[in-house]
Structure 1
């Protein structure tokens, strides 16, 4: 009887774990919300992202995404990968520099129909650095992101 209870507990724990987002793959908050709670579709619709609303949400790859409207939710559900930020939502430039950091979600660029998010400090804007050589930065960030996802480290 004790063995059966232990097996059931193990199975339930595994099921709960498998429903958590991969926190190395995705930059999420403690509630597993992606893109800082912003509506990922809204980045492609104007100059400023819109905050998502709890009433309009969906889960993709165990990450919760919020939307400004039901229309944007439907657009996302029809083609989620089109609207996901590159590199799981981590700051693209700091990945190219060898670190994984949370971006400022209003600091972004759309290049070749892909969303890139960036960190911004008082002295450095990741977006500006990225745009100096996006092709080179993309290649380095992609390699570093793959390493980070599998090891939790970049270098």
Structure 2
């Protein structure tokens, strides 16, 4: 750009402001914010705990009653007056009977793999399961991060469990750090 054209651009906008450059800068800021938003939502879904716990409330499986999956065949929120602590997490229940069942047998009623999606475990990664996407297979509760994962798991649970169980010890050890 010649010195004359540069001076003309400065005189039109006052301080050398060029709309094209400003737009590019603005778009770069938006792209950065979008990338950060995408990163933070993924980071919020992943966790570094052996049992998935909401970092703000301390609740396991977002406050859903783990026994209700078995007793009522549905995902149901627990109540604050019926809580128990197990594996470093606070678990909520719909009633005292569900609480007592869980306290007696947390290994049965608690979600397998700490609430992580078993399809992701089989791939060697830990991704939080959603308490509203679940299956009971072999009298054990499994939570899934996506519907497609639940459907694929249901199609061949023996194979998927074998794959997840092979990877789980190393992943669990990594989570313990």
For Structure 1 versus Structure 2, the TM-score category normalised by the shorter chain is: 0.7 to 0.9
1:27 to 36, 39, 52: 52
- Give per-residue Cα distances to partners, 1:68-117, cap 9 Å, x unaligned: 11121112122222101110111111111222111121111111111111
With normalisation by structure 2, the TM-score equals 0.66
Q: Figure out how many residues of one structure are paired with residues of the other and give that number.
A: 128
* Structure-2 residue corresponding to 1:103: 129
CA contact (8 A) 1:94 1:101 kept: yes
CA contact (8 A) 1:91 1:102 kept: yes
Distance 1:135 1:47 in 2: 21
With normalisation by structure 1, the TM-score equals 0.75
CA contact (8 A) 1:58 1:64 kept: yes
Please report how far the alpha carbon of residue 146 of structure 1 lies from its aligned counterpart in structure 2 after TM superposition: 1.3
Query: Structure 2, unaligned stretches of length 5 or more?
Result: 1-46
Distance 1:66 1:29 in 2: 13
Please report how far the alpha carbon of residue 23 of structure 1 lies from its aligned counterpart in structure 2 after TM superposition: 4.5
* Structure-2 residue corresponding to 1:146: 169
Distance 2:171 2:62 in 1: 20
Question: How does 1:130-141 map onto structure 2 within 5 Å?
Answer: 130-141=153-164
1:69 to 95, 110, 132: 95
Question: Which has more radius of gyration?
Answer: 2
Distance 1:45 1:125 in 2: 25
Pair 23,58 (structure 1): closer, same or farther in 2 beyond 3 Å: farther
Distance 1:57 1:23 in 2: 23
Greater fraction helix: 2
